Structure 1
Amino acid sequence: MNLKFYLKYILVLSVIFGSFYSCSIAKHIPEDERLYTGARLIIKSDSIIKNEDGLRATLESVMGPEPNSKFLGMYPGLYYYYKNQKEHPGFINRWLYKKFGEKPVYQSDVETFDVEDLLLNRLENRGFFYSKASSNVVESGKKASVTYTVNVPKPYRMATFQLDSLPAPIYGAIQTLVESSPFTKGMRFDLNAMKLERLRMDTQLKRKGYYNFDDSFLIFEADTNRYDNKHFDLFLKLKKAVPRKATVPYKIASINIYPNYETSDSLQTEFIRYNEKNYIQKEVFLKPKYLDPFIKLKEGTLYNPDTSRNTARRLSTIGAYKFVNIQYKEIDTLVTDSLGLLEANIYLSPLNKRAFMAELQVVTKSNNFTGPALALTYSNRNVFGGGETYNTTLKVGYEAQVGGEKSLGDSSLEFGLKNELIFPRVIFPFKINDDFFQYSIPKTKTSISVDYLDRTKLYTLLSGTALFGYVWDANRYVTHQINPISVSYTDLVNSTPEFEDILSENPFLRRSFEQQFISGLTYSFTYNELVDTQRTHQKYLNFTLDVAGNSISLFGKEETPNSPKTFLGLEYVQYAKADVDIRYHFNFGKEQTIAARLFAGYGLAYGNSDVVPFVKQYYAGGPYSVRAFRIRSLGPGTYNAVQDTNNTSDNFFDKTGNVRLEANLEYRFPIVSFFKGAIFADAGNIWNTTENPIFDGKDKFSGDFISQLGMGAGVGLRVDIQSFVIRFDLAAPFHDPSLPKGERFNFDVSKPILNFAIGYPF
C-alpha cells in the first residue's frame, strides 16, 4: 500500500467520524439555538493600506467570541461537554470533560453590534476616521457564522508635531525628547504609537531626575482645522493640575546604607561615613570598604531609576543578602523652584550566616551507569566580613551498569570532598578600577577538591584539583569565566590485571592515563538569551578554551634523552582544546518550542604529549548527545567493535576522540498539566586526527565526515515541575556509521534506547 492509499483512508475515516460527531452534537443543541462556527472579515478600502495584514490581525482580535475548537471536522471538546451533562456521566467522561471539554458557543452569545463598535474603535485609533462597519449572520441548519465588513477610508496623516508651552525646567527636557521623537511628517494617526511615545518620554525624564513624573501627565491633541485633505497638527501638552514637584528634577542629597537591617530593630548604634555614604548598623556586619563598590548611587547626582536598579541587582549578587530594598524619601523643606532633594535609604537583610544542605541525587553516567549519590554541603556566608562564602561538600555515590551487556567494571564507588571559597570582588596583585565593571563586579572563586573512585575489577583512581579564577556578567546576557590557575593530578593507585590487558591493547589509552599532571588555563564565554523566557526567538552561544602545560613547560626538565619532560618529578600534559556550542529556540503557540543545537570541538596534543588526556577527550551518544546510541558507544568514525575480532577489551574506554561534531533538532509541546512531550532527531560522531592503531584507521577524521555521522530520531516525555525536569527519551538509529556503506540507512525501531536524565538536553 502506498502513501496515496493511506491519505485516502484517513480522509474517509475523517468524513465518517466527522459526520458521526456532528450528528451526535446536533441533537444536543437547543431548539432555539444554533452553534456558532466563527466569523470572517472583509476589508474594503478606497486607498492602499500599508501593513494590511497587521490591521486585519488587530481587527480580528476583537471579533469574539471564539468558536468551539475543531479537530478533523469534529468537536471533541463540545462532545465531552454534552456527555458530561448526563445524569450519571461516569468517571471517564468527567475526567475527559475536565481535561478537554468546552462549553458550547451559540449564536445568541454573539453581540454583533458590540463587535461593530469595537471594529470602528480600532480603526479610529489607527487614523481611519469615519469608517463604517456592518455584519451579516449566515445560518445553515443548526450552525451559524458571521461576516463582518468594514469600509475603510483614507487615513489622517500628521503635518507637524510640536510642543505646547510648559513650565521650566521641564520644558527644555521634553523639547529635547520631541526633537528625537520617532514621529515623522506624513505618519498615520496612531493612538498606540502615542501611548508608546508617552512611555518613552516618561522613561527618559526619569533618567534625567524627574522623580515624581508620570506618563499619564502627558496628553496629545490633534488639530485638523487647518487642513481639508485629512492632515492634522499634533500638539504635546501637560494635563491641567499637574503637581509642581512633577516638573522639577530631583538630586540625591544623602545615602544611608543599613548593611544588617532587621525590621524589628529600631536602634542603630554604629554610624560610619565612608566615600560620601552613611553606613548605619549595630555592629560591623559587612565592612563598608567591601560593600561600597556595589553601590552606584552617588551624592549630588540626579535621580536615575536605572542606577537604582543596577545597585539593587549588584547587591543581590553578593550572596549574603536575602532582601535588597532601596527607598527614596523626599526632603520637602529643601525643595526649590527648580530642584528637589531626595534621601536614599538602602536596607539590606542578611541571609542566615550558616546553612546546611543535604541533596539526594540520581546520577546517570557513561555506558548506562546509574545510581544514587548523597551530597552534604555546609555553607558559611560573610566569613571575613566582606561577603565571602565558604562551602564544603562531601559526596558519596554508587553507580552500577543497568541494561545492555554486562562488562568489566560494571559498578563503581565514589567519594569526594570539595572546599570552595568565593570572594565577591577581584583578588588581584594590582588594583583594578571598579568602574570597569559597570554591570556586575567579578567574583573570585578558589577551590580544592579530592576524589576517590573505585571501579570494580578495573582500577582505583585518586585525583585532586585546585582552581583559582574569576566569573562575572558583562550584561544581562554575557558571562565571562576565566581560571588562570587550574591544576589537577590523578594517580592510578591500583590497576587490576584485566585493566592492564586493556591498556596493553591500546597504547593511546595507556598514554592518556600515564600523564596525570595537568596545569593550565581555561576561559569560557557565554551569550544566553534563554533567560528571557518570553522571547519568541532565543539564541545561545558558548565558547570554551582549555590550554594546559604552556607556563609550566618553562620549568620542565628532561630526565632522560627523548623522554617527556617533568615538573617536580611529575610528567605534565600539554594540549589545547576549544569547544563551540550554538543553540536556537523558536517559541510559538502555547508552550511549543522548536529547539536546535550545533556543537563542534577540537583538542590538540603537542609538546610533551602525544594524546589528549582521557578525561579531556570527547565521546558521543547518550541523553545529552545522539540519543539513539548509548553513551560512548558511537564512533570513533566508522569503527565497529563487534566486527573487530582482534579487540577483546571493554570498548567503554576506546570510544573517545579529539574531534566532535554534533547537531540536534527537537520539537517540544505540552501534553497535560506538567507533562511535556518531544519529537527529536540527532546527528553526530567523534574522530581522531591522529590514527589510533587499534581502530584500523577507521577513526581518522576526513572530508567524508558527513557520511560518518550517527543519526537517530525518537520521542520524549518530560515531567516539568517549576523548571525541575525529569526526562525520558526513547530513540532509535536510522543511520549507523559502523555498518558497511549501503547498509547504514536503516530505521531500526526493534531495539530502541531509553535515556533517563535530569534537565533538558539543550
Structure 2
Amino acid sequence: MKYIPEDESLYTGASLIIESDSIIKNKDKLKAELESVLSPEPNSKFLGMQLGLYYHYKNQQEKPGFINRWINKKIGEEPVYLSNVEPNDVEDLLLNRLENRGFFYSSAYSDIEKTEEKASIKYTVKVPEPYRMASYQLDSMPLPIYSDVQKLVKETPFKEGMRFDLTNMKIERNRLDKSLKKRGYYNFNESFFLFEADTNRYDNKNFDLFLKLKKGAPKKSLIPYKISKINIYPNYEVSDSTGATTTRYENKNYIQKEVFFKPKYLDPFIVINEGDYYNPEDSRNTARRLSTIGAYKYVNIQYKEIDTLATDNLGLLEANIFLSPLNKRAVRAELQLVTKSNNFTGPALALSFSNRNLFGGGEIFNISPSVGYEAQIGGDNTSGDSSLELGLENELIFPRVLFPIKFNNEFFKYSIPKTKISLSLDYLDRTDLYTLLSGSALFGYFWDANRFVTHEINPISVSYTKLSNTTPEFDVILENDPFLAQSFEQQFIFGLTYSFTYNEMVDVQKKNQFYINFTFDIAGNGISLFGKDQGPDLPKTFLGLAYAQYAKANLDLHYHFNFGKEQVIAARLFGGYGLAYGNSEVVPFVKQYYSGGPYSVRAFNIRSLGPGTFNSDMDTSLNSNDYFDKTGNIKLEANLEYRFPIVSFFKGAVFVDAGNIWNSVENPVYYGADKFTSDFMSELGMGAGVGLRVDIQSFVIRFDLAAPFHNPALPKGERYNFDVANPILNFAIGYPF
C-alpha cells in the first residue's frame, strides 16, 4: 500500500445488484453476462497477496535487481486505480446488455465505496418486466425463396411467450442461412435477413416478430443453384495444364494428361453430383475425403456461376476440383534415440521408402528396414541388459474396402475405410539370454466415423515367434517359472483384433477433453476347428505349430482439464484382462501385462511392480532382478497429474500414480501372492513425484522423478512409507497420457 500515490486509490473491483419487479428466469445467467462488462479487472490475487502488483512496484526502484526484473517480466501487473474506471461507460454497457435481453426501460447507477488507499464500485440495475413474443411471422418475399424460408420458419425453436433476446435472433438468422445454403442458395448471406418487433397491438409488453428481407438484396442471392457440370483434375499442375484429355465417368469429367488416378477409384470420394442443388456440406465432405487418401498435397474446390436465360428462378454452377499430388516416391532416413516401455534405450537407424498411388488408385506402399542397439538403464541385472534388433516392415494401404461384398459408400459418410495389408519380420538378439525371430502378417480396415471417433478392425492377425539360442542362464529362468515357459511355447497366434478410439484431444481449444480407447483381441478360435490332437496333456497344433487361444480386452480412459495459461490437470484410468482357454493355459508372453516404468506407475522400476503382493527379494529361487517374472493377465492403473509452464519450452508436473498386475490363476512360483482377489485395492502400488519436460512444438523429452508411498510387496502395516530417499528417475519421449 505504501507505493500507491497520494491522489490515487487502488481499484479492488465491482459488485452488481439486480433489482426487479418480476421473477427473472435464468437470473444467474443474466447476472454473469452483466458482470462480464464490469471493467476494468482489478489486480489479481494469490492467497490474498497481490504479487503481480508488488513486483511491478519493486521494479520501479532505481536498482530493482535481476531477480525482481525477471519476476516482474513473468507475473508483473500494472496497477489499476479508481481513475482508470469509467462508471458512466459501464452503466451504458449494462443498459445495452439488458435491452438485448428484452429488458427495455431499465436503469443503472453506481456508488463508489472508498477507503484511504482502496476503492470499489457497486453497480445497481433496476430491471422491469421484459418484453415477450406473441407471434413469429414471415413477411412477404419473392419466390422461390419465400416457400423455402416458410418451411424453415415452421421448424423454428422460437416459442410463444419467449423473452425478447437479440442473441437468439442472431442464432435463428444463422440457422436459416445454413439451411438455405444446403438448399442451393449459393449467393445468400445471413445479413440479408432483418427482424422487426412490433408492439403496436399490445399494451402488456408483448410484441409480434417479423422476418423480412433487407431492401436491395441481390436477385441472384434469392434463387437456388444446381450443379450443372463437375470437372475433376486428378493431377493438376498450375504451371502446365495443356494437353489434357477428358474422361467421362459417373456423370463427371476427369481431366488429366495420362491416367494418374483411375476415375473408378477416385469417384467414391466425391459426393458432389450433377443435378444436385449446391450444398456446402457436400463440398466439405468431398474435400475431407479426398485429403484422407494420402496421395494429395492440396485439394481445392471452386464453383463458377454459369450464365443462363432458361429461368430467373434457378442458377447453374460448374464445380471444378483441383487435386495437386504429392511426390509419388519418397525416401526418408531417421536416426533415432529410442526409449521403450521395457526400459531399454539406445540408438536406431530407420529407413523408409514410400510409393504413393502405386496402382493408380491412391494405394500407398511403404517398406521400412531398421536396425537398433539398446541397453537397459537402471537396475543391476547383468544378463540380457543389451540387445541388437533388425527389422523389416512392408505395408500396403488401399484407400477403399477390399471385400468380396461391395459396400454402399453412403454408409461411411464421414470417410471411406482403408484396407491395410502388412508383413513384418524382426530379429532380436538379447545378450546372454536368447535369440527371438518373429514374423507377423495383418489384414484389416480402419476409418474415421467422425472427427473424434476412429475404428480399426483386423479380421486376420497372424504372428509367429521362434525362440532359439537360449543360454543356460535363461533356461534356468524358464525352469523356475513354468507359466513363463508355457507363455513362450505359444509361438503361433492367429486371431482378430478390434480397436475403438474416441479422442477429443484433437480439439485443442476445448476446456474439458476426453479420450477413450477400447481394444479387443481374440485368437485361436478359427484355427481350432482344424487343430490336430497331439495326445493327452499336449496342446493341439495347426500346420505343425502349437497355437495360442485367448481373449483379451483393454479400456483406457483419459481426461484433461485445461485452465489458466498452459495449465492442465490430466487423469487416466486403465483396466485390462486376458483370458487363456482351450489350447492355452496361460496368455502368451507378448500379450501379458506389466506394471511400473515411465508410462505406468513411475515410482517403481519397469516390470518390478507385482504381481499382487509378491516380493521377489524374499525368494532366492528366482532371479529377482530379471524383468521376465513380473507379468500377469490382469492390470489396473490410475494416474493423476498437474502440468504447468515454467519458462519458455520448459514445463513442469506434479503427479501421483497407482496400479498393479495380477493373475486370475495362481502361479505356484509366486506362492499365491499374485492372485486377484476382492482385496485388490490394498495391493495397489502407489507413488508420487515431480517432472520436468522439454516441450518443443509437441516433441517432448520427459524426466520424471518419483518415489513410492505404498508398496504392496511389504507386509501389511508396513506398506505406507514415502520412500523419498530412494527415488526412481524415468526418462521417456512424449507425455505419459
Q: 2:332 aligns with which of 357, 378, 388?
A: 357
Q: Within 1, Cα distance between the matches of 2:699 and 2:30?
A: 41
Q: Within 2, Cα distance between the matches of 1:335 and 1:84?
A: 76
Does residue 53 in structure 1 map to residue 24 in structure 2? no
Does residue 555 in structure 1 map to residue 518 in structure 2? no
Equivalence map 1:315-326=2 (5 Å): 315-326=290-301
| Residue 407 of structure 1: aligned partner | 382
Does residue 81 in structure 1 map to residue 56 in structure 2? yes
| Residue 214 of structure 1: aligned partner | 189
For the Cα contact (< 8 Å) 1:641–1:651, is it kept in 2?
no
Q: 1:501 aligns with which of 460, 466, 476?
A: 476
Secondary structure of 1:262 counterpart: coil
Q: Within 1, Cα distance between the matches of 2:549 and 2:320?
A: 54
Single out whichever of 639-648 and 360-369 deviates more from structure 2: 360-369
| Residue 386 of structure 1: aligned partner | 361
| Residue 12 of structure 1: aligned partner | none
Equivalence map 1:627-706=2 (5 Å): 627-648=602-623, 650-706=625-681
Deviation at 1:367, TM superposition (A): 5.0
Single out whichever of 296-305 and 454-463 deviates more from structure 2: 454-463
For the Cα contact (< 8 Å) 1:334–1:341, is it kept in 2?
no
Deviations 1:481-517 (A, max 9, x none): 1111111111112111111111111111111112211
Q: Within 2, Cα distance between the matches of 1:133 and 1:510?
A: 82
Deviations 1:594-632 (A, max 9, x none): 333222211111222111110000111112222222221
Structure 2 counterpart of 1:150, one-letter code: V
Structure 2 counterpart of 1:594, one-letter code: I
Equivalence map 1:87-126=2 (5 Å): 87-126=62-101
For the Cα contact (< 8 Å) 1:550–1:574, is it kept in 2?
yes
| Residue 341 of structure 1: aligned partner | 316
| Residue 740 of structure 1: aligned partner | 715
Single out whichever of 37-46 and 304-313 deviates more from structure 2: 37-46
Q: 1:398 aligns with which of 373, 379, 398?
A: 373
| Residue 695 of structure 2: aligned partner | 720
For the Cα contact (< 8 Å) 1:268–1:280, is it kept in 2?
no
Single out whichever of 703-712 and 690-699 deviates more from structure 2: 703-712
| Residue 572 of structure 2: aligned partner | 597
Secondary structure of 2:94 counterpart: helix
Deviation at 1:171, TM superposition (A): 1.1
For the Cα contact (< 8 Å) 1:334–1:340, is it kept in 2?
no
Secondary structure of 1:167 counterpart: coil
| Residue 571 of structure 1: aligned partner | 546
Cα 1:36–1:737 shift into 2, 3 Å: same
Q: Within 1, Cα distance between the matches of 2:158 and 2:432?
A: 77
Deviations 1:700-746 (A, max 9, x none): 11122122111222233333333323222222222211111111122
Instruction: Determine what percentage of the aligned residue pairs are the same residue.
Output: 74
For the Cα contact (< 8 Å) 1:638–1:708, is it kept in 2?
yes
| Residue 392 of structure 2: aligned partner | 417
Deviations 1:543-564 (A, max 9, x none): 2111111222222222445422
Structure 1 counterpart of 2:317, one-letter code: L
Structure 1 counterpart of 2:538, one-letter code: S
Q: 1:730 aligns with which of 696, 705, 723?
A: 705
Cα 1:549–1:491 shift into 2, 3 Å: same
For the Cα contact (< 8 Å) 2:617–2:624, is it kept in 1?
no
How many pairs were matched up? 737
| Residue 164 of structure 2: aligned partner | 189
Does residue 205 in structure 1 map to residue 190 in structure 2? no
Does residue 522 in structure 1 map to residue 522 in structure 2? no
| Residue 151 of structure 1: aligned partner | 126
TM-score using structure 2 length = 0.97
Secondary structure of 2:74 counterpart: helix
Does residue 490 in structure 1 map to residue 461 in structure 2? no
Does residue 251 in structure 1 map to residue 226 in structure 2? yes
Single out whichever of 236-245 and 515-524 deviates more from structure 2: 515-524
Cα 1:242–1:600 shift into 2, 3 Å: same
| Residue 175 of structure 1: aligned partner | 150
Single out whichever of 397-406 and 213-222 deviates more from structure 2: 397-406
For the Cα contact (< 8 Å) 1:502–1:649, is it kept in 2?
no
For the Cα contact (< 8 Å) 1:222–1:233, is it kept in 2?
yes
Equivalence map 1:237-386=2 (5 Å): 237-334=212-309, 336-366=311-341, 368-386=343-361
Deviation at 1:279, TM superposition (A): 0.5
Q: Within 2, Cα distance between the matches of 1:113 and 1:235?
A: 34
Secondary structure of 2:618 counterpart: coil
For the Cα contact (< 8 Å) 1:421–1:447, is it kept in 2?
yes
Deviations 1:636-663 (A, max 9, x none): 1110101223323544101001111222
Gaps of 5+ in 1: 1-21
Secondary structure of 1:58 counterpart: helix
Structure 2 counterpart of 1:371, one-letter code: G
Secondary structure of 2:200 counterpart: coil
Structure 2 counterpart of 1:660, one-letter code: K
Deviations 1:158-183 (A, max 9, x none): 11111111111111111111111111
For the Cα contact (< 8 Å) 1:408–1:650, is it kept in 2?
no
Cα 1:156–1:672 shift into 2, 3 Å: farther
For the Cα contact (< 8 Å) 2:183–2:224, is it kept in 1?
yes
Cα 1:442–1:366 shift into 2, 3 Å: closer
Q: Within 1, Cα distance between the matches of 2:43 and 2:243?
A: 64
Structure 2 counterpart of 1:536, one-letter code: K
Deviation at 1:248, TM superposition (A): 1.0
Secondary structure of 2:40 counterpart: coil
Deviation at 1:82, TM superposition (A): 3.0
Cα 1:649–1:753 shift into 2, 3 Å: closer
Single out whichever of 558-567 and 441-450 deviates more from structure 2: 558-567
Gaps of 5+ in 2: none
C-alpha RMSD over aligned residues: 1.8
